[in-house]
Amino acid sequence: MNFVKKLFQDLAALLFPNLCSGCGTDIYHGEAFLCSKCLFTIPYTDYHLHPDNKVAKQFWGRIPFNMAMALLYFKKGGKVQNIIHSLKYRNQTGLGVKLGEMIGDRLSLASGYMDIDLIIPVPLHKKRKSSRGYNQSELIANGISSALNVSVNSDSLIRTTITDTQTKKGRYMRFENMKTVFSVKNRENLTGKHILLVDDVITTGATIEACAIELHKCGIKKLSIAAVAFAE
């Protein structure tokens, strides 16, 4: 998508909030953030039903974890990319909560996620959070929380350094960059707990891996992972 088109869509989203975040068409009374057509046709993974899914395989041998899933497949230029863009840059806070509820509804049907004690969003650095106004992963976590009736802890895991946009870095540099980015405050609040770690999009898994290493230092019981989208 070129810059002008993107800018126009961002403006349209501000001026006409009743447009679908997936396809940009008008949405009707009773629909929220996504039109019915998108809700039925966006590419769901059903990974919550398949423990050996591609997100889980991404983390095999890298970190100890219980379950891992993402709600949707992310493809460049597809509707899911529009949804993620709306979530991150168009101030669509309600969309984040809705996507979280969609994840939570699925996790409530999957046995591996039933004993979660605490939901922790991947944190933004506080400077980035204040310039964006919200942490999109926290919104997703709040939606999962209301569907599962499990509380969110968004102040124990913190991001201590701002990372540059990582898209142009090689895989190894991305991992090296993430090593010292996160830390945990009040570790005792996490000890012995089954934690659900929540992110917006999983690509290389470097962010999740770095968070998981810090969480495991607190003596957590189990770690599970959930995201809105998975980019292969």
CA of 167: how far to CAs of 89, 173, 204, in Å? 17, 11, 11
Strand partners, 223: 195
What is residue 47's three-state secondary structure?
helix
The residue to which tokens 């993974």 are assigned: 45
Q: By CB under 5 A, is residue 38 in contact with Zn ion? A: yes
Q: Which stretch binds Zn ion (CB under 5 A): 19-27, 122-130, 173-181, 193-201?
A: 19-27
- Of the listed pieces 7-15, 27-35, 124-132, 194-202, which binds Zn ion according to CB under 5 A? 27-35
The residue range among 20-28, 56-64, 140-148, 179-187 that interacts with Zn ion, by the rule CB under 5 A, is 20-28
To the nearest whole angstrom, how small is the minimum distance from the Cβ of residue 40 to Zn ion? 10
CA neighbor of 229 nearest in space, from 204, 209, 207, 203: 203
Q: Does 228 bind Zn ion (CB under 5 A)?
A: no
Contact flag: residue 23 with Zn ion (CB under 5 A): yes
Q: For residues 87 and 200, what is the distance between their CA atoms, to the nearest angstrom?
A: 9
Q: Which CB, 33 or 113, lies closer to Zn ion?
A: 33
Nearer to Zn ion, 35 or 116 (CB): 35
Contact call for residues 220 and 193 (beta carbons, < 8 A): yes
Q: Tell me if 22 contacts Zn ion by CB under 5 A.
A: yes
DSSP 88-137: HHS--HHHHHHHHHHHHHHHTT-GGGTT--EEEEPPPPHHHHHHHSS-HH
Does 39 participate in binding Zn ion (rule CB under 5 A)?
no
Counting contacts by CB under 5 A, is residue 83 touching Zn ion?
A: no
Q: How far is the CB of 89 from Zn ion (least distance, A)?
A: 18
Give contact residues for Zn ion (rule: CB under 5 A): 20, 22-23, 35, 38
